[in-house]
Structure formats: structure tokens, C-alpha cells
Structure 1
Amino acid sequence: MANTIKKIAVLTSGGDSPGMNAAIRSVVRTCAYHSIECIGIYRGYEGMIEGDFLEMDARSVKGIINKGGTILKSARSKEFRTKEGREKAHTQLVKAGVDAFVVIGGDGSFTGAMVFNSEFNFPVMGIPGTIDNDIVGTSHTLGYDTALNTVVEAIDKIRDTASSHNRLFFVEVMGRDVGHIALNAGVGAGAEEILIPEEDLGLDRLLESLRRSKASGKSSSIVVVAEGDKIGKNVFELKDYVEENMSEYEVRVSVLGHMQRGGSPSCFDRVLASRMGVRAVEGLLNGESNLMVGLKNDVMTTTPFNQSVKGKMPINKELLRVSDIMTV
């Protein structure tokens, strides 16, 4: 490996996700394995601008692989979006002797890294950390698997109440622009209907589906709704509409909210984070830059930032069909 890089920084940016700590651990220990210095940057790009750095070694990251959130904290920096803010950040990195950095975050974090690289030719690699699984170039983002398990566990508990009281529950899950969590968790939890931004079910078809479920003998139903679904203005409007048109149902709403972003990461996310951290650091040591590490067909790959932030991961059409069949 080329060894022009002597010190690598790591930061977490944007929304937190389970597995970020495991990724920090992997970056720090891979640096230690290759005798490279490592520093942690607190509060994402905001901390980079302010020089809020901490030297880290292999022992600095003990006992964090199982912890949710991020020990380095996270923030969304308005100042980093300005040329002046990025110049301050670059000055701080140079002052600290940092030769490259790894950013763990989503498409907004990668966009910032891409611009920073273009302005200062500063080596950077990205690790996708977001529960939405909406980044092109990887089949799984860090935290997605854990979020799915959290949602399924919650829906399982809600179903107990739904079936006990013959109720219809609308369960809103995260997914402002994409429905990966809603679709996969809905299938996994046996939801009677799944509403996602990519597929406009329509109010009439929703009622038809619920009436069909009722006619088939189901006394209760679970409808999983991605927060970005376009049928109604919000999940409470959907509730009101169904109550007006199906008086036989007692309708309730459960918004899972930020509980989906917390909690101990699953084994899958811990392993994925470990693999991604190694690949990111070794990529920098091999002279790679401006790339996001990803998983494709269980192989670590890389995708240029400009490709990873351009589009959205398409919804799984085959899973949509499975969902329709399972609601018979």
C-alpha cells in the first residue's frame, strides 16, 4: 500500500443510525493495524470547522460496537455549505496534520465531501449511514437492517392490541422520500396493506383492500405507511377518511418516529460497519478518493460520490407483488 497518508480523521454527519459506532471503531482500528494515526471529529462538519478533534487509538473505541447513536455526535452544518466555512475546515485539518478523512453519513454528507474534495483535492471516503437505505451504490446502508427489526418488533406488539379489540391500525414509519422500510417491514410483519411514496395506491383502492380483508374474515388490520406516502396529507387524514367510510372499524394511529433510529445495531449492521470501515481506510491508503464504500452481492465495492448522491435506490417490484399476494 502507498503510505503517503499518515493521519486519517473520521466523522459522523447528518441523522444518526445504528452501526455508526461500529463503523467508527472499524476506521480507528484499521488505522491502528496499519500504523496510521487517527483522530475523531466531534459534531460532523461543524466540528471540523471549529477544530473539535480528539486523538483516537484502538483502545478509544472499546465497548462501542453494540451501542446505537454515535460517540462522535452529529450535526448538520449550515456554515460548511459556504466556501468560507469549508476553507475554515480545511485550515483546521491541515493544522492538525490530517491527510484524509472518512465521513459516515447520507447523501447530504457525501455532497459536502464531494464539494470539499473538488475545492481542495483532499482525499475522502464515505460510509453510507442512514436507516432509509436510499443511497445508490449499496444494497444496504448502515442502520437499515436494525431499523427494519425495530419496526417489525413494534408492529408485532401493535398487532396484539389490534386483534384484541378488532381495530385497524395505521403504523407510520420513517421514509420521507422512499418506502424501503415500509415495504420490507410490512411484508415481514404481515401487514394487510403497505403505503409507500413510489406507489400511489389511492384512497378508493385502499378502502377496497380493507373491505376485501374484512370480507375474508379478518377482524383487525395493520396498514404500514411510509411518512412520505402521497395518498393523504398525513396519516391522521387517512384515519379520518377510513373512519368516515368504514364505520365498522375502530381506527388508531401509531407513529413510530425516532425510535427507529436508535437502539443496539443488529449483527448484520455490526459486520457491515466493520467491513466498510476497513475498506474505506485501505482505499485511502491505496490512493482512492471521492468514493462511497458499498455492499453489492455481499462484496465490498465503491461508487463515486457524484453517482451515489444523484439517484434513489429503486423499490423492489418483486417484493411489491409478494405483498399483494400475502394480503389474500
Structure 2
Amino acid sequence: MQTIGVLTSGGDAPGMNAAIRAVVRAGIYNNLKVMGIERGYAGLINGEIKEMDLSSVGDIIHKGGTILKTARCEEFKTDTGRNKALNVLNVFGIDGLVVIGGDGSFNGAQKLSHLGIKTIGIPGTIDNDLAYTDYTIGFDTAVNTVLDAIGKIRDTSTSHERISIIEVMGRHCGDIALYAGLAGGAESVLLPEEAFEIDDICKKLIQGKARGKLHHIIMLAEGTGNAFELQKEILEKTGIDARVTVLGYIQRGGTPTAFDRILASKMGAKAVELLLKGKSSRVVGIKNNQLMDMDIYEALSQNREFDKEMYTLTKILSI
């Protein structure tokens, strides 16, 4: 192993830069040449590759987004596209590749490993939707971003005695809504993993107003339903005009938390260590506060376990 590459793919996540920094510096520390691949698999196919040195990753650990930029690439999903990528890797003499991203990025890394390139995946996605690891890079920052928004929205909701629906990201995994809802004291937390009855929500709203409650925060993961449709249903059933805030891409950006910086740094260094040991088609993760790695296929085959205990706690504490 003489030359390794690193790329970020799919949606960006706070902490990706910390992971890139760790890969580059751990690689150089171990006498490897490190190549940065811009715009994910699309950039790999197009040969958008540059050598990185210590200065390339200076002053980036605190920055959100990814200095290598990211993209989604339909061409890479084809045999022709992957063969182009393989040719480019061979031209640049890249023996091993670190891929930072989510499940789609990992699938791509697995395909490249089948073509003979040693690949290691690092989980970078704010959704925390990879079952094999307790936390993904960017999740903690996203939760804290939402938590900050909840505090600001609560201030104005209380002043006007309003109901607020806050829609956050999470198509298939409601962890952002769950964690932020619990930490932010939301009265209702609606997730794709759990069905809910609109009448139960309305009853809670009416009971809260009856006892003099000045606000009511409803956390809604986007995979649960549309916030504006929920607003309409509440108005029809109760006469209460709830206000909607869709946080959108604000959740992807921002300075990564200490947790995400440390997690990303550990995972980046671990990825380089695995490549030096000749490992391939592996992903790095964290379980029970311990860094670990496993086969990509095995990792992607795992079914995610929903934290029902935490969900129940949000209901207990919101009465």
C-alpha cells in the first residue's frame, strides 16, 4: 500500500472534514501518498483528483460540509461507470480507497472492492440510519442544530400562545426528531417507525390549552407525513391554527460538535489502519462506545432497531 484515496459521497454531514483530515494526516504519518477525490464517485469517474498534504487539511476540523465536495452519480451505478472509475484509480496508482458517506456510498465501495480495489467505509450521514453503528458522523450536530431551533421557536410560540409543528429530516429513520424532541421537551414526537392517531394529538392540544399551557411543540420527521397536511387536519378538528417550520437544509450545515469531530477523527485514523493491514470491503463504526469494523455487506444487511424505550419516554415526559 503506497497510495490511498479519500472521497465524500451522497449528502454532506458536519464532521466530514474532520474525517478527511484524519485520513490525510494518518496516511502521511504512515508514509502513504494521499489523493483527494472531489465530487464523490462522479469526480472519480472524471479524474478530479489531487494529491493532499498536511496543509491541505489545515484549519478544517471545525468546518461543516466537505472540502472535497460531494455529488450523487447515476453513471457509477452502471458497470461501464464503475469500470471507468477503476481505470482512473489505476492511472493514479491508488491502491486503497476511503469512502465517507451513507448506505449508497457503501454499496459503491463494495462494488469497487469486487473489482480489486481495497475499500473502507466511514459512516457520514445526519440521519443516523445505518443499523450496524450506534452513531454516524453528523448526527449529533444535526440534533443540536434542531435543538437550538426548538428553543427559538418555543420563545415565540409561548409569547403568542401558539402550536408549532417543526418538520425535520428523516425519511425512514426518525432519530433526529426523536433525540431532539426528547432533549427539547417536545409535547408530541411523530416518527416513521411508529403510527400515530391524529385524534390523540388533538386531544393533547385541547387538554394542554385547558390547563393554561402557553405552547405546544410537535416534532415531525419528514417520513411521517407532510407538516402542512397535519396543520390542516389539526385546524379542521380543533379550530387551532398551528404554525409550521420546516428546518430543511439548515440541519446539514454548521460547525460540527465536539462529539462529531472526535468520532470522525477516530474513524478516519481507523480506516487508514485497516487499509495498512490489507483489509477491504469493511466499514468503521462505533458500538457501546468502542470503535469497531465489519464487512460492508454484513453491515448493510442488518435491520435497524428502533429505540422504543426512548420513544415511550417522550410520551411519558410530555403529559
**Could you say which TM-score interval applies, normalised by the shorter chain?**
over 0.9
Instruction: Choose from 219, 228, 231 the match for 1:236.
Output: 228
Name the residue aligned to 1:283.
274
Residue by residue over 1:197-217, the C-alpha shift from the partner in whole angstroms, topping out at 9 and shown as x without a partner, is 000112122222222333343
Name the residue aligned to 1:245.
237
Instruction: Choose from 4, 12, 15 the match for 1:16.
Output: 12
User: Following superposition, which runs of at least 4 residues in structure 1 exceed 3 angstroms of deviation?
Assistant: none
Instruction: Choose from 81, 84, 88 the match for 2:84.
Output: 88
Q: Does 1:221 align with 2:216?
A: yes
Q: Distance in 2 between matches of 1:272 and 1:104?
A: 13
Residue by residue over 1:173-209, the C-alpha shift from the partner in whole angstroms, topping out at 9 and shown as x without a partner, is 0001110000110011000000000001121222222
Q: Distance in 1 between matches of 2:272 and 2:211?
A: 55
Cα RMSD (Å): 1.0
Contact 1:20–1:104 (CA under 8 A) maintained in structure 2: yes
Q: CA deviation at 1:315?
A: 2.0
SS of structure 1 residue aligned to 2:301: coil
Q: CA deviation at 1:218?
A: 1.3
Name the residue aligned to 2:176.
181
Name the residue aligned to 1:67.
63
Q: CA deviation at 1:313?
A: 2.8
Q: Distance in 1 between matches of 2:302 and 2:107?
A: 13
Q: Does 1:111 align with 2:110?
A: no
Q: Distance in 2 between matches of 1:250 and 1:209?
A: 15
SS of structure 2 residue aligned to 1:294: strand
Structure 1 gaps, min length 5? none
SS of structure 2 residue aligned to 1:177: coil
Q: Does 1:136 align with 2:131?
A: yes
Residue by residue over 1:41-73, the C-alpha shift from the partner in whole angstroms, topping out at 9 and shown as x without a partner, is 000001111111010012210000000000000
Q: Distance in 2 between matches of 1:161 and 1:129?
A: 34
Contact 2:132–2:302 (CA under 8 A) maintained in structure 1: no
Q: Does 1:27 align with 2:27?
A: no
Name the residue aligned to 1:327.
318
Q: Distance in 1 between matches of 2:96 and 2:124?
A: 19
Q: Distance in 2 between matches of 1:202 and 1:6?
A: 58
Amino acid at match of 1:237: E
Amino acid at match of 2:284: V
Q: Distance in 1 between matches of 2:137 and 2:168?
A: 17
| Structure 1 pair 174–161 and aligned structure 2 pair: CA distance change class (3 A) | same
Contact 1:105–1:130 (CA under 8 A) maintained in structure 2: yes
SS of structure 2 residue aligned to 1:200: coil
Q: Distance in 1 between matches of 2:241 and 2:82?
A: 54
Contact 2:121–2:284 (CA under 8 A) maintained in structure 1: yes
**Which deviates further from its counterpart, 283-292 or 303-312?**
303-312
Residue by residue over 1:123-169, the C-alpha shift from the partner in whole angstroms, topping out at 9 and shown as x without a partner, is 00000000000002211100000000000000100000110001000
SS of structure 2 residue aligned to 1:114: helix
Contact 1:166–1:250 (CA under 8 A) maintained in structure 2: no
Residue by residue over 1:68-116, the C-alpha shift from the partner in whole angstroms, topping out at 9 and shown as x without a partner, is 0000000001110010111111001001010010000000000111122
Name the residue aligned to 2:35.
39
SS of structure 2 residue aligned to 1:29: helix
Contact 1:107–1:308 (CA under 8 A) maintained in structure 2: no
Name the residue aligned to 1:165.
160
**Which deviates further from its counterpart, 302-311 or 63-72?**
302-311
Instruction: Choose from 144, 151, 157 the match for 2:146.
Output: 151
Query: Share of identical aligned residues, percent?
Result: 50
Instruction: Choose from 292, 307, 317 the match for 2:283.
Output: 292
Name the residue aligned to 1:7.
3
Contact 2:231–2:241 (CA under 8 A) maintained in structure 1: no
Q: Distance in 2 between matches of 1:78 and 1:160?
A: 44
Contact 2:15–2:61 (CA under 8 A) maintained in structure 1: yes
Name the residue aligned to 1:49.
45
Name the residue aligned to 1:79.
75
